[in-house]
């Protein structure tokens, strides 16, 4: 499936500019939704997923999160060296500046005619962590995190979550230890407006471009819950 959106450029709050994939706008004004990438950059799958949310009535854009390290980096998950670079960038990224970039992109989207002024963030893997951080650091309406791999490093921010947050996690995710998953549960379960759903799947179970990871039924359930959760923003 080919994407049908466009590339836009956003001014960063600390100087410089970064690219973002802007999905086709909805027919009627809808919520601004920033969709944050995995460690592999703005891949074809990221664009297709942004298009999927746009088709459901959202004003969607996916920012280049690694632009300060390597602008427009896109990796093949089956190429070991490219995967290593993506993992290295995950460790090097400045999370504070990344959240600021998400905020800048949301402001841009909210200024477009196709946006109704409501704001949300979602993301996968690397992006799942940024969705969680956005719920704690930005003034947004809702956030959905798909299998964020670094959330356990920021559990102290749970007390700052200021909007409803939904989290999707795989029971068999090997991208981080089960002990860290248990720490996430212990820290976040019970916080008002935080819901965590577990799936009979591993890491990246929503990525249709990774047959060894994709779990169709579990992905369907996760996306269905997300769309229901975001539906009140329209």
Please report which helix (H) or strand (E) contains residue 100, including its range: helix 95-110
Q: Which of 173, 180, 193, 209 is catalytic?
A: 173
Q: Which of 108, 203, 213, 223 is catalytic?
A: 203
Does the annotation mark 203 as catalytic? Answer: yes
Give the pLDDT confidence of 201-215 residue by residue, as tens digits. 999 999 999 999 999
Residue 136 pLDDT more than 60? yes
Q: At how many degrees (to 10) do helices 95-110 and 126-137 cross?
A: 70
The domain ranges of the chain are 6-233
- Of 73, 23, 123, residue with least CA distance to 132: 123
- Of 190, 193, 180, 188, residue with least CA distance to 150: 180
Give the pLDDT confidence of 10-63 residue by residue, as tens digits. 999 999 999 999 999 999 999 999 999 999 999 999 999 999 999 999 999 999
Q: Is the pTM of this model over 0.85?
A: yes
Beta strand spans in the chain (E): 6-11, 17-22, 30-36, 59-63, 115-124, 142-146, 165-170, 194-199
Does the annotation mark 173 as catalytic? Answer: yes
Q: What is the mean pLDDT of residues 213-226?
A: 98
* Average pLDDT of the chain, as a whole number: 97
**CATH fold group of domain 6-233:** Rossmann fold (3.40.50)
Alpha carbon distance 34, 233 (integer Å): 14
């Amino acid at each position: 499936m080919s994407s049908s959106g466009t590339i836009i450029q956003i001014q960063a709050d600390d100087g410089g500019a970064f690219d973002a994939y802007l999905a086709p706008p909805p027919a009627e004004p809808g919520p601004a939704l920033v969709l944050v990438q995995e460690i592999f950059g703005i891949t074809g799958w990221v664009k297709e997923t942004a298009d999927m949310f746009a088709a459901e009535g959202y004003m969607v854009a996916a920012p280049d999160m690694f632009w300060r390290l390597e602008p427009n980096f896109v990796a093949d998950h089956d190429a070991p060296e490219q995967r290593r670079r993506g993992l290295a960038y995950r460790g090097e990224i400045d999370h504070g500046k990344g959240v600021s970039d998400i905020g800048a992109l949301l402001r841009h989207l909210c200024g477009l005619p196709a946006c109704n002024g409501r704001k949300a963030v979602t993301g996968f893997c690397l992006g799942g962590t940024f969705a969680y951080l956005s719920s704690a650091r930005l003034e947004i309406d809702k956030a959905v995190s798909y299998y964020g791999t670094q959330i356990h490093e920021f559990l102290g921010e749970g007390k700052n979550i200021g909007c409803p947050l939904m989290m999707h996690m795989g029971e068999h995710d090997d991208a981080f230890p089960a002990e860290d998953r248990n720490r996430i549960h212990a820290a976040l379960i019970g916080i008002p407006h935080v819901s965590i759903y577990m799936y009979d799947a591993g890491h990246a179970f929503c990525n249709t471009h990774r047959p060894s990871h994709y779990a169709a039924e579990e992905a369907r359930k996760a996306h269905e819950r997300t769309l229901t959760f975001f539906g009140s923003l329209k």
